[in-house]
Copies of this chain bind each other. A is one copy, B any other.
Amino acid sequence: MTESKFPPPPDKKELETNRELTPRFDKDGLVTAIVTDYENGELLMVAHMNDEALAKTIATGQSHFWSRSRQELWHKGVTSGTTQKVHEIRTDCDQDAIWLKVSVEGSGATCHTGMKSCFYRSVELKDGKAILVRDKIDPLFDPAEIYGNKT
Protein backbone atom coordinates (compact mmCIF):
# COMPACT_ATOMS: atom_id res chain seq x y z
CA MET A 1 0.00 0.00 0.00
CA THR A 2 1.53 3.28 -1.10
CA GLU A 3 1.01 6.44 0.91
CA SER A 4 -2.32 8.19 0.28
CA LYS A 5 -2.30 11.19 -2.02
CA PHE A 6 -4.82 13.03 0.16
CA PRO A 7 -5.01 13.79 3.90
CA PRO A 8 -7.16 11.37 5.94
CA PRO A 9 -10.84 12.38 6.35
CA PRO A 10 -11.64 14.24 9.59
CA ASP A 11 -14.90 13.80 11.56
CA LYS A 12 -18.30 14.28 9.91
CA LYS A 13 -18.80 17.93 10.79
CA GLU A 14 -15.36 18.93 9.57
CA LEU A 15 -15.83 16.94 6.35
CA GLU A 16 -18.78 19.21 5.56
CA THR A 17 -16.98 22.45 6.22
CA ASN A 18 -13.27 21.97 5.65
CA ARG A 19 -11.41 23.59 2.79
CA GLU A 20 -9.15 20.65 2.12
CA LEU A 21 -10.04 17.75 -0.16
CA THR A 22 -10.07 14.74 2.18
CA PRO A 23 -11.93 12.04 0.22
CA ARG A 24 -13.72 9.43 2.25
CA PHE A 25 -12.77 6.25 0.37
CA ASP A 26 -14.90 3.20 1.21
CA LYS A 27 -13.63 -0.15 2.45
CA ASP A 28 -12.54 -0.99 -1.11
CA GLY A 29 -10.65 2.31 -1.34
CA LEU A 30 -13.17 3.91 -3.71
CA VAL A 31 -15.37 6.97 -4.04
CA THR A 32 -18.29 7.27 -6.47
CA ALA A 33 -17.63 9.42 -9.54
CA ILE A 34 -20.48 11.13 -11.39
CA VAL A 35 -19.79 12.47 -14.85
CA THR A 36 -21.98 15.07 -16.51
CA ASP A 37 -21.78 16.97 -19.79
CA TYR A 38 -20.20 20.37 -19.20
CA GLU A 39 -22.38 21.99 -21.87
CA ASN A 40 -25.87 20.75 -21.06
CA GLY A 41 -25.56 19.01 -17.68
CA GLU A 42 -26.68 15.57 -18.97
CA LEU A 43 -25.65 12.64 -16.78
CA LEU A 44 -23.17 10.63 -18.86
CA MET A 45 -21.86 7.88 -16.57
CA VAL A 46 -21.22 6.71 -13.04
CA ALA A 47 -17.91 5.08 -12.12
CA HIS A 48 -15.48 4.77 -9.23
CA MET A 49 -12.15 6.33 -8.34
CA ASN A 50 -9.40 5.22 -6.05
CA ASP A 51 -6.82 7.54 -4.59
CA GLU A 52 -4.60 7.36 -7.68
CA ALA A 53 -7.43 7.87 -10.20
CA LEU A 54 -8.63 10.98 -8.37
CA ALA A 55 -5.12 12.41 -8.05
CA LYS A 56 -4.43 11.78 -11.76
CA THR A 57 -7.74 13.38 -12.77
CA ILE A 58 -6.93 16.51 -10.78
CA ALA A 59 -3.34 16.67 -12.03
CA THR A 60 -4.00 15.98 -15.74
CA GLY A 61 -7.49 17.41 -16.33
CA GLN A 62 -8.50 14.10 -17.95
CA SER A 63 -10.92 11.65 -16.32
CA HIS A 64 -9.29 8.61 -14.72
CA PHE A 65 -11.25 5.93 -12.88
CA TRP A 66 -10.64 2.62 -11.18
CA SER A 67 -12.06 -0.24 -13.21
CA ARG A 68 -13.64 -2.63 -10.72
CA SER A 69 -14.08 -5.33 -13.37
CA ARG A 70 -10.50 -5.15 -14.64
CA GLN A 71 -8.99 -4.07 -11.29
CA GLU A 72 -6.80 -1.46 -12.92
CA LEU A 73 -6.43 2.27 -13.39
CA TRP A 74 -8.59 3.37 -16.30
CA HIS A 75 -7.81 6.44 -18.40
CA LYS A 76 -11.31 6.79 -19.76
CA GLY A 77 -11.73 6.87 -23.53
CA VAL A 78 -8.19 6.09 -24.67
CA THR A 79 -9.19 3.01 -26.72
CA SER A 80 -12.11 4.69 -28.47
CA GLY A 81 -10.68 8.22 -28.74
CA THR A 82 -13.32 9.55 -26.39
CA THR A 83 -11.23 10.92 -23.55
CA GLN A 84 -12.93 13.33 -21.18
CA LYS A 85 -11.62 16.86 -20.67
CA VAL A 86 -12.48 17.90 -17.12
CA HIS A 87 -13.78 21.45 -16.77
CA GLU A 88 -14.86 21.34 -13.15
CA ILE A 89 -14.57 18.97 -10.18
CA ARG A 90 -16.90 19.12 -7.18
CA THR A 91 -17.38 17.01 -4.08
CA ASP A 92 -20.33 16.42 -1.78
CA CYS A 93 -20.98 17.15 1.90
CA ASP A 94 -19.31 14.01 3.25
CA GLN A 95 -16.70 13.78 0.49
CA ASP A 96 -17.47 10.26 -0.66
CA ALA A 97 -18.57 11.32 -4.15
CA ILE A 98 -16.85 13.30 -6.89
CA TRP A 99 -18.67 15.17 -9.66
CA LEU A 100 -16.83 15.79 -12.93
CA LYS A 101 -18.16 18.19 -15.54
CA VAL A 102 -16.54 17.15 -18.80
CA SER A 103 -16.49 17.50 -22.54
CA VAL A 104 -15.99 14.28 -24.47
CA GLU A 105 -13.48 14.14 -27.31
CA GLY A 106 -13.84 12.28 -30.62
CA SER A 107 -17.27 10.84 -31.39
CA GLY A 108 -18.65 12.27 -28.15
CA ALA A 109 -19.84 8.89 -26.89
CA THR A 110 -19.34 8.04 -23.24
CA CYS A 111 -20.89 4.57 -23.11
CA HIS A 112 -19.01 1.50 -24.35
CA THR A 113 -22.20 0.64 -26.28
CA GLY A 114 -21.55 3.71 -28.44
CA MET A 115 -24.36 5.73 -26.88
CA LYS A 116 -23.69 9.31 -25.78
CA SER A 117 -24.77 8.54 -22.20
CA CYS A 118 -24.81 5.24 -20.35
CA PHE A 119 -28.32 6.18 -19.20
CA TYR A 120 -30.06 5.50 -22.50
CA ARG A 121 -33.08 3.76 -21.01
CA SER A 122 -35.90 5.05 -18.86
CA VAL A 123 -37.90 3.01 -16.38
CA GLU A 124 -41.63 2.91 -16.91
CA LEU A 125 -44.44 1.01 -15.27
CA LYS A 126 -46.48 -1.27 -17.52
CA ASP A 127 -49.20 -3.38 -15.95
CA GLY A 128 -47.48 -2.90 -12.59
CA LYS A 129 -44.13 -4.15 -13.88
CA ALA A 130 -41.00 -1.99 -14.34
CA ILE A 131 -39.91 -2.04 -17.96
CA LEU A 132 -37.09 -0.23 -19.75
CA VAL A 133 -37.73 2.01 -22.71
CA ARG A 134 -34.72 2.75 -24.89
CA ASP A 135 -34.16 6.27 -26.25
CA LYS A 136 -34.72 6.45 -29.98
CA ILE A 137 -31.17 7.66 -30.63
CA ASP A 138 -28.52 5.85 -32.65
CA PRO A 139 -25.12 5.01 -31.13
CA LEU A 140 -22.29 7.40 -32.03
CA PHE A 141 -19.93 4.53 -32.86
CA ASP A 142 -20.10 0.81 -33.54
CA PRO A 143 -18.62 -1.02 -30.53
CA ALA A 144 -17.62 -4.00 -32.69
CA GLU A 145 -15.40 -1.71 -34.79
CA ILE A 146 -13.76 -0.07 -31.80
CA TYR A 147 -13.38 -2.92 -29.38
CA GLY A 148 -13.57 -6.00 -31.59
CA ASN A 149 -14.63 -8.88 -29.39
CA LYS A 150 -13.64 -7.21 -26.15
CA THR A 151 -17.14 -5.96 -25.20
Contacts and interface: CB of A to CB of B under 8 A. Distances in A.
A129 B6 CA distance: 9
B32 A43 contact: no
A91 B123 contact: yes
Interface size grouping (class) on chain A: 35 or more
Contacts of A112: 93
Contact of A90 (B90, B91, B123): B123
Main secondary structure of the interface of A (DSSP, over half): strand
B119 A21 contact: no
Contact of A130 (B41, B58, B92, B93): B58
Given A34-B46, A132-B19, A90 B119 contact: yes
A90 B123 CA distance: 5
24 contacts: A16-B113, A18-B132, A19-B131, A19-B132, A20-B129, A20-B130, A21-B132, A34-B34, A36-B41, A43-B43, A43-B90, A43-B99, A46-B92, A58-B125, A58-B130, A90-B121, A92-B111, A92-B119, A93-B113, A93-B115, A97-B118, A97-B119, A98-B123, A99-B119
Interface of A: 6, 16, 18-21, 32, 34, 36, 40-43, 45-46, 58, 88-93, 97-99, 111-113, 115, 118-123, 125, 129-134
